Structure 1
Amino acid sequence: MKMSGLFSALILLIIQGALAQRVKVEPEVVSYPGQTVTLRCQFPNPGETQLTQVSWIFERTDMERTNIAVFHPGFGVNYPTTSPLVGRVSFISVPPSLDNPSIQIKDVKMTDEGRYICEYATYPSGNEQGVSSLVMLAKPMNTATTVKVTAGKTPVIVASCESSNGRPAATISWSTPLNGNVTTPRTTNNPNNTVSVQSSYMLAPQPSDNGKDISCVVSHRTMSQPEIFPMKLNVEYPPQVQIKGYDDNWYKGRTNAFLICQADGNPAPTTFTWKTLSGLMPETVQVQENRLAVQKVDDTINTTFICEVRNSLGSGRDQVAVFVREFPRPKGVPTGGVIAGILCVIILVALIATIIVIVRKRQRKNSDGPPTHKPPPPMKTHSYSDRPSSRASLSESQFMYHEEPMTDLSAYHDDKDHHEPSPFSKQTPEKDDRDEDGLMGDVDGYYVTSSASRGSSFMSPAVIV
C-alpha cells in the first residue's frame, strides 16, 4: 500500500511538471534601474485545452501576491490599481491575445525585483503557470580610505572600504603584506532594495608600518573586473632620533668634523635642539638645524653631544660621546688585506715546518744506518828492545813512534809485517817487547800500553809520564 501510494504521488508530480512546462517564459530577466524590461509568456499548441484568461502576478519575497495585469477575451484588459507597478506595466500587443500575453515594465525600480508569474486559466486542466525572476542590478558606489592612527600595541582599524547601494551585495577583499586581520563584512539593506557592504582592516600599528601598502579590492556582478583601491597606511609616532658623523678620529686641530641629527617621525619633526652633557656648548661649535659643525677640534670638544627632536606627538633624543685624540688615528689596513696577509703567514709557517720535518727525518735516517767511512787504523808504538838501566839513557834513547792512520783496515794483516825499522832501535823479528797483558815493561816507573788488536777498533795508546 505504501509503495503504491508513493508511486502514484510521483506520477502526479511528473504530470503537473509536464503541464507547468506548457507555459513558456524566460526563467530570469536582468535589468538596471530606469530601463524598460519585457517579460514574455506563451502557451503554444494548446490542443483541446481551452484558454479562457491570462493573469500576471507580482510576488516579492517578503510580500503577498499582487495582480498587476489581467486579460480576458470577453472582458478585455485590466490593470489593478493596488498594483505597485500601476501606470508602468502594460501588455505588449494591443489588443493583447491569449497566444502572446507578454508584458513590459517601464522605468523599472530596484523595488520591482521579484518573481513574475504568468498564469493561464484553462479548461478542463485548470490553472497553468510559468515563473520569471526579475533580477535588478545596481552598480555600487565603492570607496576606500586609510584611518590616521597612533602607533601602539592595541589593534585598531587602519583602513576601511565600503561598497554602497549595490545589487546584489558586493564582495570586498584586501591585499597587503601586513600581518593584520580583516573584520567581518557588515551588510546593510537600504530602503530602495540596494545593499551596502563595509569591511575594515585591523592592525596593532608600529612606526615601521607607516607608509606601507594596503589595497581594497571590490568585486561586483555589474563590473567586468574588480575595482582596486591602492593606499598607504598613516601611522603617527614621536620622533626617532639617531646622530651620525662621528668616526672616532677627532684629533686636535681637525677642521672638518661635524655631526648630523637624523630624525624620523609622523608628523614631521618641527624642532632640533643640540645640547652637551655638561650644559655648555663649546665656542668652536656652530649649530644649524640638525647639523652641528666643529670649526677646530680642541679639548673643549671632548664631551657628550645630545640632539633632541620634537613633533606634535612628543620628542625623541640621541647622544654621542666624543673622544679627542692627540694625533690622528693611523689608517687601518683594509679587511681584505689583513685576511690575505694572515693566510700568507699561515701558509709560509706550514711550508717551513714541513721542510724542517723532512730534513730531520733524513738526518735521523742517516745517523741510524751503517757508517759511510771506516775508522782510522790502530796506532803502533815502538821502543828500543834494549832497556837502558837509567832514566837519562831512556829519555835520550827511547821515543814513541806512531804510524799514520790506514784508510783500509783489510790491508792491515800483521803487526810484524808492517813495522818500519827504526834507525834508533833494534827489533827482534820473533816477538814484541810487550808482555802478555799488553803492557810494556816497566822502565823506571814509566809504562807504555798498547791495547789495540787486529780487526777491532782501538784508541791511541796513552803515554804516562
Structure 2
Amino acid sequence: MARGDGRNCHDFINIIGLFSLVTLLTFQGAESQRVKVDPEVMSYPSQTVTLRCAFMEVGGIQLTQVSWIYETKDGQRINVAVYHPNFGPSYPSSPLSGRVNFTTTPPSLLSPSIQISDVQMTDEGKYICEYATYPSGNEQGITTLVMLAKPRNSGSVVNVVAPSVATGVQPVVVARCESADGRPASQITWVTAVNGNATSVSTSGANNTVTVTSQYMLVPTAADNGRDISCVVAHRTQAKPDRIPMKLAIEFQPQVTIVGYDDNWYLGRTNVALTCQAAANPIPTTVTWKTMSGQLPETVQVNQNVLTVLKVDELVNTTFICEVNNRLGTGKDQVTVMVRATPLPGKGSTTGAVIGAIIGVILLLAIIGSVVALVRKNHNKINSGDGPPKYKPPPPKKQQTLTSGSTDRLNSSRNHEDSEDGALDQLHISPQNGQPSTDLDAYADEGYNHNTDELYHAGTPSGWEGRGLNEPPAQDYLNQYAANDYYYNEQQYPMASGATRGNSFVSQAMFV
C-alpha cells in the first residue's frame, strides 16, 4: 500500500515538472517573438542588402540598448553595430567596417535596421539583432544572410573504347558535367536510357563559392555509341533547371556485313552486286575485296564498298571476302556464291490475290451498308407510323342481319317508312361469326320475281344459322315484308266500293 502511494507521488512530481518546463518554453517563445526580423535575406555579390529589426509590444519594458552581432561559421560572435539613446551609434571593428550603417539618422530603438553595402561572399552567415531591456533582460532575433552566386554549367562526353574480353569489362567515365563557382551548391542529375551510375563531388572555390562535378560511368559497348545522355543542373539562382544534352562517343573496331546475294546467281546473269556495310568508330579508312584464292574474277568490278559482277560464269562460283580497317583494327565478312545452271522459278504474282482481297472487302462493305440502310428505313417507317399497326383491333359485335332482299330495296323501303311515320331506327348490317359479306343485290335478284311479285328464299342468310322452322323472323325482317305485303294487297285486292284510305285499313300479313 505504501509502495503504491510512493509511486503515485513520484508520477505527480514528474507531471508538475513537465508542466513547468512547457510553461517556461512557451513564455520564452512569446518573449522572443517581440523582436521581429526577417528569417532569411538573399543577395548577390557587390549589392546592398538591408537587415530589418523592430521591437513589438513594448508595454512596461524599458529598452536601453540595441546591438547587431555577426556570428561566424565557427560560432564566434562579433559586434558590427551598436546604438544607445544617450551615446548614439557605434560601429566596432569587424569584417564589415566601413560597409555597415543604421538605416536612419539618428537610429531608433524601436526600428534599428541596418544596411550592408558591397556585400561579399564571405559576409554570408547569421546576424543577430539583440536588445538590452529592463527588467526582462536581453531579447533577440536572428536573420540568416544567404549569398548567391550563379554557377557556370558545362557538360562533355569522354571518348572511350569498347572493352573486349581480353581487356575486361570494368565501368569507365563516359560523360562529365560541372557546375562551377556557385553559391549555394548546385544539384546535378542525369537523364539517359543507358544503364550506368553517376557520382558527384563538391569542392570549395574562391570567395566562398562551390564547384560541383558529376561523372556518369558504365561498361561501354558498340551499341551505346551515339546514344543520348543529358545532365540537368538545378540551382537557386536559376528560374528552371539547366539541361545539357550530349551523345555518347564509344570507339570500336569495324563491324562488317555483306548484303546483296539472293542465292539465284545463274550462268549468264548480268549486273549483280555485293555491298560491304561497316559500322565503326572512328570511321573506316580502307575497304578491301578479295576471294579465298586471293584474286578477283575478270568479270568483277570494285567501287569502294560495292563489288559488281558484270556477267556470272563459273569463275564467280567462289567465296568473296570484305575487310574494313580503322584506327582500332580490322573487321571482315564473307559470302559464298553458288552459280546455278538455270535460274530458280520465279515466285507467283500476288497481284491476283491482292485484287481479289480488295474486291472482297468492297463487297463486304456494300453488304454491310445495305443492311444498315434497310434497318434504318424500317426503323423510320415504324417511327413515322407507316408500318403495320402496333395494336390488334377488337372483334366485331354481333348484330342482326337480313335474310334476303336487296340492300338498295331495303334502304328505299326504310327511307319510305321513316319519311311517313319516323318509327324505324337506322339499320346496321355487318357480317356475323367472321363470315364474309355477300352481294345482297345479286342475291335479291335471284330470289325475287318482278312478274309475280313473289319473294323466294334461296337459303338461310348469314346470321340465321341454327334457327328452327317455326321460329319467327327478326323484327327487321318482318318490317321488310310488311312493306311488300302492302304493295301486294293494294294490287290484288282493292278496297271495297266507297271505301277510302282515310277510314279503312289493311292489316299486315301474319306469319305463324
Please say whether Structure 1 and Structure 2 have the same fold, judged by a TM-score greater than 0.5: yes
Secondary structure of 2:110's counterpart equals coil
Specify the code of the residue in structure 2 equivalent to 1:245: G
Q: CA deviation at 1:65?
A: 0.8
The residue aligned with 1:33 is 45
Summarize deviations over 1:421-456 as a string: whole Å, max 9, x none: xxxxxxxxxxxxxxxxxxxxxxxxxxxxxxxxxxxx
Which runs of structure 2 are paired with 1:78-227 in the superposition (5 Å)? 78-81=90-93, 83-152=94-163, 153-183=169-199, 185-227=200-242
The residue aligned with 1:11 is 23
The residue aligned with 1:275 is 290
Specify the code of the residue in structure 2 equivalent to 1:39: L
Q: CA deviation at 1:178?
A: 1.3
Summarize deviations over 1:219-276 as a string: whole Å, max 9, x none: 2222221111111111110101111111222222222122111111001111011111
Summarize deviations over 1:335-381 as a string: whole Å, max 9, x none: 8999xxxxxxxxxxxxxxxxxxxxxxxxxxxxxxxxxxxxxxxxxxx
Deviates more, 1:221-230 or 1:257-266: 221-230
Change (3 A) 1:62 1:191: farther
Secondary structure of 2:207's counterpart equals coil
Specify the code of the residue in structure 2 equivalent to 1:165: D
Return the alpha-carbon distance in structure 1 between the equivalents of residues 349 and 210 of structure 2: 69
The residue aligned with 1:56 is 68
The residue aligned with 2:331 is 316
Q: CA deviation at 1:75?
A: 2.0
Return the alpha-carbon distance in structure 1 between the equivalents of residues 21 and 282 of structure 2: 76
**Structure 2 unaligned regions, length at least 5:** 1-12, 164-168, 354-512
Q: CA deviation at 1:117?
A: 0.5
Return the alpha-carbon distance in structure 2 between the equivalents of residues 89 and 47 of structure 1: 30
Secondary structure of 2:63's counterpart equals strand
RMSD: 2.2
Return the alpha-carbon distance in structure 1 between the equivalents of residues 203 and 210 of structure 2: 6
Specify the code of the residue in structure 1 equivalent to 2:148: L
Deviates more, 1:133-142 or 1:297-306: 133-142
Q: CA deviation at 1:334?
A: 5.8
Summarize deviations over 1:175-217 as a string: whole Å, max 9, x none: 111122223x222233422222222222111111111111111
**Alignment match of 2:259 (pick from 244, 257, 270):** 244
Q: CA deviation at 1:141?
A: 1.6
Question: TM-score of the superposition, structure 2-length normalised?
Answer: 0.63
Summarize deviations over 1:46-83 as a string: whole Å, max 9, x none: 233221111100112324111111112222222122x1
Return the alpha-carbon distance in structure 2 between the equivalents of residues 85 and 234 of structure 1: 51
Specify the code of the residue in structure 2 equivalent to 1:67: N
Summarize deviations over 1:79-116 as a string: whole Å, max 9, x none: 122x1111111111112121221101112222212111
Summarize deviations over 1:305-354 as a string: whole Å, max 9, x none: 1110000011100111111222222213368999xxxxxxxxxxxxxxxx
Return the alpha-carbon distance in structure 2 between the equivalents of residues 7 and 191 of structure 1: 51
Secondary structure of 1:61's counterpart equals coil
Specify the code of the residue in structure 2 equivalent to 1:190: G
Return the alpha-carbon distance in structure 2 between the equivalents of residues 319 and 164 of structure 1: 53
Change (3 A) 1:115 1:253: same
Which runs of structure 2 are paired with 1:222-301 in the superposition (5 Å)? 222-301=237-316
Specify the code of the residue in structure 2 equivalent to 1:55: S
Return the alpha-carbon distance in structure 2 between the equivalents of residues 12 and 272 of structure 1: 88
Q: CA deviation at 1:33?
A: 2.0
Specify the code of the residue in structure 2 equivalent to 1:28: E
Specify the code of the residue in structure 2 equivalent to 1:173: T
Q: CA deviation at 1:40?
A: 0.8
Return the alpha-carbon distance in structure 2 between the equivalents of residues 277 and 335 of structure 1: 40
The residue aligned with 1:440 is none
Specify the code of the residue in structure 1 equivalent to 2:105: V
Question: TM-score of the superposition, structure 1-length normalised?
Answer: 0.69
Structure that is richer in helix per residue:
2
The residue aligned with 2:59 is 47
**Structure 1 unaligned regions, length at least 5:** 339-465
Summarize deviations over 1:23-53 as a string: whole Å, max 9, x none: 1111121222222110111123423322111
Q: CA deviation at 1:2?
A: 4.5
Return the alpha-carbon distance in structure 2 between the equivalents of residues 12 and 149 of structure 1: 66
Secondary structure of 2:19's counterpart equals helix
Secondary structure of 1:101's counterpart equals coil
Specify the code of the residue in structure 1 equivalent to 2:120: K
Deviates more, 1:259-268 or 1:218-227: 218-227
The residue aligned with 1:71 is 83
Return the alpha-carbon distance in structure 2 between the equivalents of residues 69 and 306 of structure 1: 87
